[in-house]
Amino acid sequence: MSDQEISSKTKDYVIVGRVAGERVTTRILEEQIQEAVAQGHRALRIDAFGQHGIGGRLWQAGNEPISIQVVGQPGQRLGSMGFPNTSIEVLGPASDDVGWLNAGSEIVVHGNAGNGCANAMAQGKIFISGNIGARGMTMTKHNPRFDPPELWVLGAAGDYFGEFMAGGIAVLCGYDGQNPDNILGYRPLVGMVGGKVFFRGPHAGYSQSDAKLISMGDEDWNWLNANTRSFLNRIGRIELMETLSDRSQWQLLVARTPHEKISRPMLSMQSFHRSVWEKELGQGGLIGDLTDLDRSPRH
């Protein structure tokens, strides 16, 4: 490999999102990124101006690592369908759906992230140095052939966190959270069937039919403590390590097993009819109305 070829792989290749005062469309910016990767560039800097999907689907590099640095204002779905060996770093906040359908990329956001962070993520890691909006870590999944997806948040989560979560690990550090009295947000973990959530700080409840608090064992704590250091290094906040190293401040939520959900008492059809149906609609209710309708003369 020549010196020129090595330079093209290590020196930042700059792609701008606004030319002569005009915003470059998302499609054109995506084409420019894909073309740069196809030409062998492996370190890109994107001067974003609201374009969507930056840093995703960079499959052409194969197993070669790609570094994407984003300055400016990225649009939605940053790193969507991101591939392994892709590293994306945003020097500021990010919009909705960071890491949507992430399939292996590592994403660092130096600020807050909007709604839908890590939505449907299957692999990779997302590091947020602030808070996230609503419906973070929803519909995630975990293929046991690969490491579970991870979402790390220095602050707190917005409402409906972990909705239909089916795998992966989320860590909410609760440091300078947007709502310090409720780190998990409103109605978290509804429909959760897999994965685990480490969190630090108070909460205002969660879906107890889908998730449960468990005592954190040494294995979980050792994993959390070691990876917290890596997280803080990635977001440039290693000075918080001592603050986040108090084991007594952390709690762990996991999904209830199918057996635990089946064992819950169920309302019989007769009980539902008496206590709910007839109470709301009266005796006979809609069924009586439909019966009368069936018996009415037809013309």
Number of domains the chain is built from:
2
Q: Do 126 and 204 reside in the same domain of the chain?
A: yes
pTM score: 0.85
Q: Do 297 and 203 reside in the same domain of the chain?
A: no
Segments forming the whole domain that contains residue 294: 267-299
Q: Do 133 and 272 reside in the same domain of the chain?
A: no
Q: Do 68 and 118 reside in the same domain of the chain?
A: yes
Residue 182 is predicted with a pLDDT of: 97
Residue 284 is predicted with a pLDDT of: 57
Q: Do 191 and 276 reside in the same domain of the chain?
A: no
91-to-94, 107, 136, 194 alpha-carbon distances in Å: 9, 11, 20, 32
Look up residue 5 and give its two tokens.
């070829």
Instruction: Give the Cα separation of 177 and 183 in Å (integer).
Output: 7
Instruction: Give the Cα separation of 174 and 73 in Å (integer).
Output: 25
Look up residue 199 and give its two tokens.
């969190």
Residue 250 is predicted with a pLDDT of: 98
Q: Do 240 and 291 reside in the same domain of the chain?
A: no
Q: Do 235 and 122 reside in the same domain of the chain?
A: yes
Q: Do 74 and 188 reside in the same domain of the chain?
A: yes
Q: What residue ranges of the chain have pLDDT lower than 50? A: 1-8, 10, 289-294, 296, 299
- Collapsing DSSP states into helix, strand and coil, what is residue 264? coil
Q: Do 293 and 248 reside in the same domain of the chain?
A: no
**Interior/surface letters 182-207, b for 16+ CB within 10 angstroms, e for the rest:** bbbbeebbbbbbbbbbbbbbebeebb
Q: Do 72 and 110 reside in the same domain of the chain?
A: yes
Environment class of residue 270 by beta-carbon count within 10 Å: exposed (0-12), middle (13-18) or buried (19+)?
exposed
Q: Do 297 and 247 reside in the same domain of the chain?
A: no
Residue 214 is predicted with a pLDDT of: 97
Q: Do 41 and 115 reside in the same domain of the chain?
A: yes
DSSP string, 131-173: -B-SSTT-S----TTSPPPEEEESS---TTTTTT-EEEEEEE-
Q: Any idea what the CATH number is for the domain that residue 238 is in?
A: 2.160.20.60
Q: Are strands 250-255 and 211-214 parallel, antiparallel or unpaired?
A: antiparallel
Residue 264 is predicted with a pLDDT of: 59
